[in-house]
Amino acid sequence: MRLLFLLLFFTNTATLFSQPPKFHGKPSMIEEASYEVDSITGKQDINPRWTLIYHFDEAGRLDEHWLKNPGMARRDKIFNSHTVHQYQDGRLWKSTEYNADGEIRETQEHLYDAAGKLIRIKKSGVLKKFDQDMDVQTDSLERIIWIKTRYPKSDLPTQFTTTVYSGDTLAVSTTRDSSGNLLQTWTHRLNQYGDPLEIVQTLENDSVNYRAGYAYRYDTAGNWVERRSGIFSVFRNTGRYTGSKEIRRIVYPALHPDTLSAKHLHGNWADFQYGLELQIFADGNYLALTNGQRNDGGAWTLDTQNHRLLITGKENRETPVELNYRFEDGLLILYRSGKEGEFKMVKLQGVNGN
């Protein structure tokens, strides 16, 4: 029975975080590949252990996704799946997961009250004893803060999970049985993008059963394009650390420079090759830095007709420096071409001025 509880705990990993992932900037497609990394040597496998492909509808909502595991193509259909997400009144209604043969493996339904708040989640699948019927409460930010989980087709006991948030950077979820006995605690430490920096699971005796740490590299829209992780799991790895690296290729809807306005430029820009940074402010001023040290500052204007950013430095030069701009895969780029090639800067935050 304890092994069954551990399996449920691990696969349910604090249910509030098992909802479809959220992305920034309305991408149209994301391909995510995961590679195993040796925790001692740092050597990365050549071939991915699995690949996720996300497709989005015209409203920017997750439409469907595929999980592909080439090493388990026929041996285990669970690790090769296709999930379709359906929406009603702008809210997620139903997710259906199919195995590699197109057979339904699991469905998840979301039910809402008259005000549009999520109140219930129902999961059903091939293994009926793992079917779940969950009553849910959310806060004003639509985050799940309380779950009552029942297993209607098995004798597994009812569980109660409460989540307490500390701002936007910490969430602690505790699960208890109907007698109030503590079963497990999940602690999520999050960064400014809402992605976990650390996830820790402790059991009722305060022993750590699972711990994962993450580091990221982000694109200008605020979606991570590289994630490195180190995971310690008693259940999965008999008490040892494993490492992985995930790489994302993100495609955004085509944008045109003519759609650009001044607010799209506000924020920080960087050229990592030369250690240059450009801070563009809404008041029409800018600050330029090299390796973190100020080297110039002044005013800037936008020439939308010719797709140029014009900056006037501290010497009040008569001829402003010109930086052209364009979109690459939906990301905004400032660039200047010369004899030595192209100088290019990318925006460190989203292209919609926030």
pLDDT at 295: 76
pLDDT in the model for residue 329: 57
Which residues of the chain fall short of a pLDDT of 50? 1-17, 74-75, 237-238, 350-354
Per-residue pLDDT, 339: 65
224 & 329 share domain: no
Query: Which of residues 251, 266, 286 is at a domain's end?
Result: 251
46 shares its domain with 113: yes
Instruction: Tell me if the pTM is above 0.75.
Output: no
User: Residue 37: in which H helix or E strand, if any?
Assistant: strand 29-37
Domain membership of residue 233 (yes or no) is yes
Say if residue 99 is in the same domain as residue 228. yes
Q: Return the bridge partners of 108, or none.
A: 95, 123
Q: Indicate which CATH number applies to the domain containing 186.
A: 2.40.160.190
Is there a single domain that holds both residue 142 and residue 223?
Answer: yes
**pLDDT score, position 351:** 39
If you compute the radius of gyration of the chain from its CA atoms, what whole number of angstroms results? 24
- Same domain, residue pair 281 and 172: no
Question: DSSP letter at 3?
Answer: H
- Phi/psi at 77 (5° precision): -70, -15
Instruction: Convert the pLDDT of each residue in 97-153 to its tens digit.
Output: 998 888 899 999 999 999 999 999 999 998 777 899 999 999 998 999 999 999 999
Question: Is 333 contained in some domain?
Answer: yes
Angle, alpha carbons 107-112-118 (nearest 5°)? 85
Tell whether 10 is covered by a domain. yes
Contact 323, 311 (CB under 8 A): yes
Q: What is the pLDDT of residues 44-69, one digit of tens each?
A: 888 888 999 999 988 889 999 999 88
Per-residue pLDDT at 26 = 81
Taking each continuous run of H as one helix and of E as one strand, the counts in the chain are 2, 24
Give residue 275's domain range.
257-347
**Statement to judge: residues 45 and 158 lie in one domain:** yes
Q: Which of 284, 252, 207, 277 is nearest to 352 (CA)?
A: 252
Give yes or no: residues 93 and 233 share one domain: yes
Last residue of a domain, one of 251, 266, 297: 251
CA separation for the pair 314, 283 (Å, rounded): 16
Three-state secondary structure call for residue 96: strand
32 plus 144 within the same structural domain = yes
pLDDT of residue 15: 41
pLDDT of residue 352: 38
Do 330 and 25 touch, CB atoms closer than 8 A? yes
Rounded distance between C-alpha atoms, residue 23 and residue 263, angstroms = 21
Structure token pair of residue 313: 């430095």
